Amino acid sequence: MEWLHDFEWRRPIYFRQPNFRERLRQQTAYREQLPALRDEYRAGVPMLPLSRCPYCQTLNYLSFDHYGLDGLWWRSDERWRNGAQQQLCPHFWTLSGAVKLAEAVAIVPFRSAPGPEVPFVVPSALREHPLQVVISQIQVGAHTAYPIAYFSETKPLTLANPFPEWSTEWAVWVQEHNRYEWARAPYLLFKEQADFDLAPWMAQGRVAWIAPGDPSFTLQQQVQTCPYLDLPGDQEFVLITNGIVSSINQKL
Ligand SMILES: [Zn+2]
């Protein structure tokens, strides 16, 4: 994939090289295969129960690559998710998330934006609309991931400052009748939008949680017993580029 991008951008340079014709032939062949490869990957991304709706109690199944951060699902500049197959209740709004990274991160030729290491909410969104947030936990290869799902009882709704969907550079949300909308939402600005102090939101009934490994995905709201408060981990928003982990602050 990266090879194709590189070839497109630097075509005038490659043009002068003796193997240009061969490269061009290969590129054409890859280009033809690309839509099929894309469809194959999207179709193969697992559909997993990630969250439960606080309004109608439906378990929501989302397209999610839990095999590792090296899956294209995690790629931040393109969206490799199988939206059509998702089983969402009418209240599902968007998916955010965090990932506690294990020691080693796979080297893959794309950029991912898995979030900070600990769960957070976006206060501006919670103040603007009566959204409900549900935090859960799932293993992604060797890493521990925290899906943070947003639900809304009323739709359509619009946010003044849309925030990025998990590991992408777009805000993507689901309006009434499963209608998707999106907007550019730079990941680099995410830090200013995040609040890691979850307890007050939980006490107000705005954030619920599902215990790690709970097969029943039971929604809970007690602050005292919540396993997602004060977790060890960095609050920096992380980018992984070709296997190198950096914080967005380093990029600014
Ligand atoms: Zn629902």
- Looking at residue 50, what is its pLDDT? 98
Helix (H/G/I), strand (E/B), else coil: 174: strand
- Measured CA distances, 142 to 69, 70, 72, 117, 245 (Å): 9, 11, 17, 14, 15
Compute, in angstroms, the gap from residue 240 CA to the centroid of ligand 1.
Answer: 33
Compute, in angstroms, the gap from residue 88 CA to the centroid of ligand 1.
Answer: 8
More confident: 27 or 209: 209
Domain boundaries, the chain: 1-44, 46-251
Average pLDDT over residues 133-151: 97
Dihedral pair phi/psi, residue 15, rounded to 5°: -55, -35
Q: 244 pairs with which residues across the strands?
A: 241
Tokens representing 44? 């193969």
Compute, in angstroms, the gap from residue 153 CA to the centroid of ligand 1.
Answer: 7
- Looking at residue 130, what is its pLDDT? 96
Torsion on CA atoms 93, 90, 38, 245, rounded to nearest 10: 30
Burial class (CB in 10 A: 0-12, 13-18, 19+), 225: exposed
Could you give the residue ranges of the DSSP H alpha helices within 119-226? Answer: 123-128, 198-203
Residue 251's pLDDT band (boundaries 50, 70, 90)? very low
Whose structure tokens read 């995040």? Answer: 194
Tokens representing 6? 């590189």
pLDDT in tens, 144-201: 999 999 999 999 999 999 999 999 999 999 999 999 999 999 888 777 789 999 999 9
- Looking at residue 91, what is its pLDDT? 98
Compute, in angstroms, the gap from residue 104 CA to the centroid of ligand 1.
Answer: 37
Q: What is the mean pLDDT of the chain?
A: 90
- Looking at residue 233, what is its pLDDT? 94
- Looking at residue 210, what is its pLDDT? 98
- Looking at residue 51, what is its pLDDT? 98
Q: 180 pairs with which residues across the strands?
A: 174
pLDDT in tens, 20-51: 888 788 778 777 877 788 888 888 999 999 99
Interface confidence, given as ipTM, is: 1.00
Give the type of residue at 77. D
Give the type of residue at 124. S
Compute, in angstroms, the gap from residue 177 CA to the centroid of ligand 1.
Answer: 12
High-pLDDT (> 70) share of the chain, %: 93
- Looking at residue 1, what is its pLDDT? 58
